[in-house]
Amino acid sequence: MEEPRQIRVIIAEDEDLIRNNLVRKMEGLDESIKVVGAVQNGKEALELVQEGQPDVLVTDIRMPVMDGMELIRQMHLYHPRVSKIITSGYADFEYARQAMKFGVTDYLLKPIAADELRQVLSKVKSTIEQEESAYKKNMKGMQNPGMNPEEIVSKVQSFLRDNFRKDVSLEQIARNFNFNASYLSKLFIKHTGEPPSRYLMALRINEAKYLLANHSHLSVKEAGEQVGYPDQFYFSRVFKQMVGCTPKEYLNEQHKK
């Protein structure tokens, strides 16, 4: 029987007592919930997210060094897959409401009641399970022990072509072949001459060029978002690396034609 999926959580809360109580409450509500990090500010939380790749972030609004609003904004830009939950006092309710534009899943009013926490976590778990089910369905047929290396690479390319607009990960794909990501990357390079990340980048930038050339109503930011780059500055940097000019310069050239 397959073991239940563990939900990895990071907590950002500057008050020790509240943070420790929240850890105990979360892990006591559901055995599948695992708090993998509990820190005092947004900067520490962001570093943990980059290292630990959690499923859920729970953050306070008011914290030193980096507050919850900036943390949520950074998460929205660079880690859109992670579910984000805000905890706040009544006086911070307006901040919590504003944070919804950054894809916050829910907010909890302090002091946090166990029943409310259970309901929010249940909703998050359900969303994660639905997303993983859809992902596995999309990947169905990719894992085949009888496939030769060329067929494996072809399957990976096909998957990337279908999903380049989404937050895709080489690690996720590799697991479906029972390979590690390093091996799959080497296999891809051997048969295509480039790493999967470069192929994904080319797919995204080629689509961005098409959008900019054929949909003049789109801004550079909107074009980037549609091809999987929510951060406009990062999108512009990648675009210039691939095309030799910035998206804005490319757009201007298209308008001259």
C-alpha–C-alpha distance, residues 126 and 204, integer Å: 30
- Tell me how many helices (H) and strands (E) the chain has: 12, 5
Looking at mean pLDDT, say which of 41-45, 87-91, 141-145 comes out highest.
41-45
Average pLDDT of span 138-165: 77
pTM as predicted = 0.59
Picking from 31, 23, 26, the residue whose alpha carbon sits closest to that of residue 4 is 31
Q: Order of strands, edge to edge, in the sheet holding 56-60? A: 33-39, 7-12, 56-60, 83-88, 106-109
Q: Where are the domains of the chain?
A: 7-134, 141-193, 198-256
Cis preceding-peptide flag for 149 (omega within 30 of 0): no
- Per-residue pLDDT, averaged over 102-124, amounts to 87
Distance CA 59, CA 40 (A): 10
Q: How confident is the model at residue 99 (pLDDT cuts 50, 70, 90)?
A: confident
Considering only CA atoms, give the Rg of the chain.
21
Is residue 144 predicted with pLDDT exceeding 70? no
For residues 127 and 85, the answer to whether their CB atoms sit within 8 Å is no
- Is residue 35 over pLDDT 90? yes
> What pLDDT shows up at residue 205?
93
**Does 7-134 carry CATH code 3.40.1440.60?**
no
Hey, what CATH topology would domain 198-256 get? Arc Repressor Mutant, subunit A (1.10.10)
